[in-house]
Amino acid sequence: MNTKTRYLLDESDLPKFWYNINADMPVPPTPVLNPQTKEPVTPEFLNVLFPMELIQQEVSTERYIEIPEEVREVYKLWRPTPLIRARRLEQALDTPAHIYFKNEGTSAAGSHKPNTAVAQAYYNKKEGVKALTTETGAGQWGSALSLACNFFDLDLEVYMVKISYNQKPYRRVMMEAYGAQAFASPTDRTNFGRSILAEDPDSPGSLGIAISEAVETAVMSNGKKKYSLGSVLNHVLMHQTVVGEETLKQMDLAGEYPDVVIGCVGGGSNYSGLAYPFMRQRLLEDRRTRFVAVEPTATPTLTKGLYAFDYGDAAKMAPIVKMFTLGHRFVPPPIHAGGLRYHGMAPSLCALYEAGYIEAVALHQLPTFEAAILFARSEGIIPAPETAHAIRVAIDEALDAKEKGEKRVILFNFSGHGHFDMTAYQAYLGGELVDYEYPAEAVKEAMKYLPEVAF
Ligand SMILES: *Cc1c(COP(=O)(O)O)cnc(C)c1O
């Protein structure tokens, strides 16, 4: 009987390859379309935004892609991350289930996001790019990319969703400490930002709007600046698979294999990062693992969205992809404290969900924070509100296993800590949060604005 709590790998166990699920997808890929022509995108179109190497990764069907030595060197600052058996949580729940979590909150930025930020900064630097632009919601992605740009000596402009810019000033200061510039989006720096402000000077902003501003800035820079996205795209998900590859080895050390693999989903990157190496075994070795993606009822992309081609951003400048979507004009309700606010979802994750390989659950914010508090009091770590969605479902699985008297092995991705989310915790503990269900009529209304495409 294994009695360990932390399963640690040596620096030499750091994976040498990312896993590309596009080599093993059980369903054919859907095309990525140019938002103007609505025809499949050309590398030239994408190259305005991204370096060639990332574009090649985006469309690659090679199963394994080597992690450059320079990227592995930076990964070593915090990787391999620990896999932890949540024994105290198991005891608190009095469950026969075994609960494991992969702690991605141990990176300098506090989440999984540097796994791709470092890789993206590296490839941009290698191709001679001097500056990047990006968007950020709560500030997690902005701070991760600031960290990465600092290591590779790149300038960075971050368009930060205004409501978060005001509610979470410390993430902004963190970005500035790493040397980046942050702006409250909508800004008056871009045509699109000015058009939104003209309509609604008090716009709280949205990820879709901030993406448009960052994309516009890159497009208008005559090749001087490129754009970087923290989730959704194939290459981003692939960079995150370093998480799952490590976890496979660590579950081996624990002498167990997960019955269920859980993660929260915003754009889908942290969940895919953990899940896809296990999905590979499900697809190629016929493992019977269950996969559960968890989202908020306030942003119910998988559970209430439509599976359709939609724009990646509000201004229709980013490529059109087939995904579950709430519509590119989606603005999340301001009463929602739980993060995970993007209107769409990574296409490969959507395809696997549509094909029945992944289940999806939508959660209200109150039970989510309740789970976060139980986790903090048993395991000691305060989770990001996003991560708390995964924790809630892990707890529910453990309680279900208890009811059925099963020894279930539960694995979830601890995508990040919540040290910058104290305003949300304060609101929860002060009894100020209420549950919110995104109305089905709003989804229906948004569908009027989907692009018409021939695919
Ligand atoms: C950004 C973020 C998420 C959601 O993004 P994904 O791309 O779906 O992973 C989840 N958890 C934390 C802590 C984050 O910072």
| C-alpha of residue 386 to centroid of ligand 1, in Å | 6
What are the chain's domains?
6-13+68-110+236-449 (3.40.50.1100)
Over the stretch 109-121, which tens digit does the pLDDT of each residue have? 999 999 999 999 9
Nearest in space to 276 (alpha carbons), one of 263, 267, 266: 263
The finding on whether 163 has its CB within 6 A of some atom of ligand 1 is no
The pLDDT of residue 1 = 61
Label the pairing between strands 359-363 and 6-7.
unpaired
The identity of residue 450, as a single letter, is L
| C-alpha dist (Å) from residue 455 to 39, 221, 344, 436, 451 | 9, 32, 18, 35, 11
E runs forming strands in 285-358: 290-296, 306-311, 320-325
- Average pLDDT of adjacent 10-residue blocks, the chain of 455 residues: 90 98 95 94 94 96 98 98 98 98 98 98 97 94 98 98 88 96 97 97 91 95 94 96 98 97 97 98 94 96 96 89 94 77 94 98 97 98 97 98 97 97 94 92 89 90
Q: Do 343 and 361 meet the contact criterion of CB atoms below 8 Å apart?
A: no
At residue 261, the 3 state secondary structure works out as strand
Nearest in space to 40 (alpha carbons), one of 248, 303, 385, 319: 319
The finding on whether 415 has its CB within 6 A of some atom of ligand 1 is yes
Nearest protein Cα to ligand 1, atom 7: 269
| C-alpha of residue 405 to centroid of ligand 1, in Å | 33
Separation of alpha carbons 25 and 27, rounded Å: 5
The pLDDT of residue 59 = 93
Over the stretch 55-88, which tens digit does the pLDDT of each residue have? 999 999 999 999 999 999 999 999 999 999 999 9
pTM: 0.96
Which residues are registered as beta bridge partners of 161? 185
Neighbours of 56 (CB within 10 A): 15
| C-alpha of residue 145 to centroid of ligand 1, in Å | 14
Q: Which helix (H) or strand (E) holds 244?
A: helix 234-254
At residue 161, the 3 state secondary structure works out as strand
The count of residues in the chain is 455
